[in-house]
Chain A
Amino acid sequence: MLSKKQARAFFLGGTLVTFLIFIGLTIFSLSKDVDQTNHENITEAVVRGKDLWDHNNCMGCHTLLGEGGYYAPELTKVIDRRGRPYIKAVLMSKVPWQPNGRKMVAYGFTNEQAEDLIAFFDWIDDIDLNGFDRVVSPLAKDKTN
């Protein structure tokens, strides 16, 4: 039967090999040639929008790219679904937004901040998500192919 030494070799060998492959695949998938995010479209406004997204912990309630909290709606493709004026109104609202009973904090963003967040969502919307972009709820309604 298997000895302790063999078991150890299995552990160390397996770890080393899979870890090296993992590093290789990481380098590959972050390289420019296979970029699916339109990295060149990340403008300063997009970065400012992302900072706002991070600092206000939007992910605590919302999901984006399917990641985050499950309390509030997914925001990938939100511009397609709601349109800019609606989103801007929500972001700039001085009173808590609660269309269906669930309350969103009244962030009261400035016009520029709202524009930055919309630029961020706009960039997110064009990412190729390997098919998830066509599934995510209730995505771009009839654009499903």
Chain B
Amino acid sequence: MTLYKGKRRTTTALVLSMGLFFAALLYLPGMLPFDSQVTDSFFRWWVVHLWVEGVWELIMGGILSFLLIKLTGVDREVIEKWLYVIVGLTFLSGVLGTGHHYYYIGVNKIWLIVGGIFSALEPLAFLAMALFAVNMYRKGEKKHPNKLALYWTLGAAIVSFVGAGLLGFAHTLPQTNLYTHGTLVTAMHGHLAFWGAYAMIVLAIISYAMPNMTGRKLYDTGRGRMAFWFSNVGMVGMTVAFGVAGVAQVYMERIMKIEFMKVQEMMEIHFYILIICATLFTTGILMYIADFIKHGQPTDEALIKE
């Protein structure tokens, strides 16, 4: 409702609100009960896919624009024009791209064509988002002192392009997906995509907003930077481990027809690597939380003159 009270209804605020509204609305199809597992599954993807590859990208685009306006000082009109292009590309590819979940669950083959074509276009929106963030950063005159927020903002745009865009594309074509559907290859893509597109952007907005709210200039701390690098290197490591394990699984299970548990035993080493990387990732997140608790609570420190 702040949107209505606000003096200006900006595109950024509008896109963000639309994203939030449709995200809530789209929860409904998932609640419909069906007797058929196939129909259930069909509508479950209305929720899951249209969230992560649809309206959540609206939310992400909105937050990204806001941060870029604040952090780079590039003119709002320019940034918001590109925001429209990005969310336009998102829906143009993403809505019909839902078809990539319908290839092999027991519905008509038309989805192989529709899903194949449109989901192959989905990386474009993420590519546009990454190019947009990096270019606006280069173009910006103003250099905002909040380096941590800038790290997370640019990081979110780039990691989501790699995780959601490139790795998603890697197994979205029906010919590939026939073999990778239901394997760890999906986990590889899912982890990095979710981290980049949804977790990092939230950490970015927290990093930006907290110093403003507490009045403290928590712009660039050693621990903050370490939190960024630890969590990201950990997550990339996990992605690689999932990727290697996934490809091995596809080959052994689906081509060589070796039994599930035998394959899992042969891949054990990857699970250990996964645990090591996950530990590194968690360390990074704990550092972020430590910074958040230490600097998020009101103390007199903010009142002391610098």
Contact = CB atoms under 8 A, between A and B. Distances in A.
A65 B105 contact: yes
B264 to A, nearest CB: 8
A67 B182 contact: yes
A132 B257 contact: no
Contact of A30 (B39, B182, B186): B39
B292 interface: no
A4 to B, nearest CB: 4
Contacts of B38: 37, 65, 127
A18 B95 contact: yes
Given A37-B36, A65-B41, A136-B182, A130 B95 contact: no
Contacts of B85: 2, 7, 10-11
A66 interface: yes
B114 A128 contact: no
Contact of A15 (B92, B183, B258): B92
A120 B36 CA distance: 10
Interface in B175-220: 178-179, 181-184, 186-187
A64 interface: yes
A21 B87 CA distance: 18
B240 interface: no
Interface string A28-63: 111000101101001000110010010000000001
Nearest to A74: B182
Interface residues of B, number: 55
Nearest to B87: A11
Nearest to A129: B104
Interface stretch (B76-84, B131-139, B142-150, B227-235): B76-84
A36 B104 CA distance: 11
Contacts of A53: 37
Q: How large is the interface on A (under 10, 10 to 19, 20 to 34, 35 or more residues)?
A: 35 or more
A141 interface: yes
A65 B246 CA distance: 18
Given A11-B88, A22-B96, A70-B184, A124 B260 contact: no
A137 B88 contact: no
B26 to A, nearest CB: 12
Contacts of A42: 35-36
Contacts of B102: 29
Contacts of B261: 73, 99-102
B2 interface: no
Nearest to A102: B261
Interface of A: 2-4, 7-8, 10-11, 14-15, 18-19, 21-22, 25-26, 28-30, 34, 36-37, 39, 42, 46-47, 50, 53, 63-68, 70, 72-74, 99-102, 120, 124, 127-132, 135-139, 141
28 contacts: A4-B11, A4-B80, A7-B81, A7-B85, A8-B84, A11-B85, A15-B95, A18-B92, A22-B96, A29-B108, A34-B107, A34-B108, A36-B106, A36-B107, A36-B108, A50-B37, A66-B181, A70-B183, A100-B264, A129-B104, A130-B109, A132-B104, A135-B179, A136-B182, A137-B253, A137-B260, A138-B259, A138-B260
